[in-house]
Amino acid sequence: MKKNLIFGMFAAMVLSTSCTNEDLSASQSENEVKVSVNLGLEGGIATRAISDGTGADRLVYAVFDENGNRISTIAAVDKKTSFPTTESITLAKGQTYKMAFWAQDSDCDAYTVNTNDMTVAVNYAADVNNDETRDAFFKTIEFTVTSSTSINVELKRPFAQINVGVYQSDWDAAVASGIEIEKSSVVIKNAATSINLLTGAVGEETTDVEVSYVSEAIPAEAFTVDVNKDGDFEDENEKYVWLSMSYILVADHDATADENGLLGNDRTTLQELQYTFTPKSGNPIVFSEGLTSVPVQRNWRTNILGKILTGDIQFNISIDPTYDGDILFP
So what's the pLDDT on residue 322? 54
pLDDT digits (tens, 9 = 90+) for 149-183: 788 888 889 999 999 999 999 999 999 999 999 99
Same domain, 116 and 212: no
Rounded Cα distance between 155 and 61, Å, is: 12
Q: Residue 71: is its pLDDT beyond 90? A: yes
Tell me the CATH number at 45: 2.60.40
pLDDT digits (tens, 9 = 90+) for 16-69: 333 333 332 334 446 887 777 777 787 543 334 577 777 889 999 999 999 999
pLDDT digits (tens, 9 = 90+) for 270-316: 878 999 999 999 999 999 988 988 888 888 889 999 899 998 767 77
Residue at which a domain ends, from 155, 175, 208:
155
Same domain, 127 and 84: yes
Lowest mean pLDDT among 96-110, 119-133, 258-272: 258-272
Q: Residue 250: is its pLDDT beyond 90? A: no
Same domain, 223 and 164: yes
Residue at which a domain ends, from 105, 136, 155:
155
Q: Residue 325: is its pLDDT beyond 60? A: no
So what's the pLDDT on residue 197? 96
Which alpha helices (DSSP H) does 129-240 contain, by range?
A: 168-176
Rounded Cα distance between 30 and 330, Å, is: 60
Rounded Cα distance between 300 and 284, Å, is: 29
So what's the pLDDT on residue 320? 56
So what's the pLDDT on residue 10? 35
Same domain, 30 and 167: no
Which alpha helices (DSSP H) does the chain contain, by range?
A: 21-31, 168-176
Q: How many domains does the chain have?
A: 2
The one-letter amino acid code at 28 reads Q
181 close to 277: Cβ distance less than 8 angstroms: yes
Lowest mean pLDDT among 108-122, 244-258, 276-290: 244-258
Same domain, 121 and 184: no
Q: What pLDDT band is residue 101 in, cutting at 50, 70 and 90?
A: very high
The one-letter amino acid code at 315 reads F
Same domain, 273 and 324: yes
Q: Residue 119: is its pLDDT beyond 60? A: yes
Mean pLDDT of the 242-264 span: 68
So what's the pLDDT on residue 171? 96
Same domain, 241 and 302: yes
101 close to 37: Cβ distance less than 8 angstroms: no
Same domain, 171 and 142: no
Same domain, 21 and 78: yes
Same domain, 174 and 253: yes
C-alpha separations of 265 from 104, 206, 269, 327 in Å? 30, 21, 10, 9
Same domain, 204 and 65: no
So what's the pLDDT on residue 266? 53
243 close to 305: Cβ distance less than 8 angstroms: no
C-alpha separations of 218 from 12, 158, 183, 283 in Å? 44, 23, 5, 17
C-alpha separations of 102 from 42, 80, 133, 216, 300 in Å? 12, 12, 14, 27, 18
Q: What pLDDT band is residue 243 in, cutting at 50, 70 and 90?
A: very high
What percent of the residues of the chain are helix, what percent strand, and what percent coil, each to the nearest 5? 10, 45, 45
Rounded Cα distance between 7 and 41, Å, is: 7
- The residue range of the domain holding 164 is 159-329
- Residue that wins the pLDDT comparison between 13 and 250: 250
Same domain, 212 and 143: no
pLDDT digits (tens, 9 = 90+) for 185-220: 999 887 888 999 999 998 865 556 678 888 899 999
The one-letter amino acid code at 294 reads V
Residue at which a domain ends, from 103, 124, 155:
155
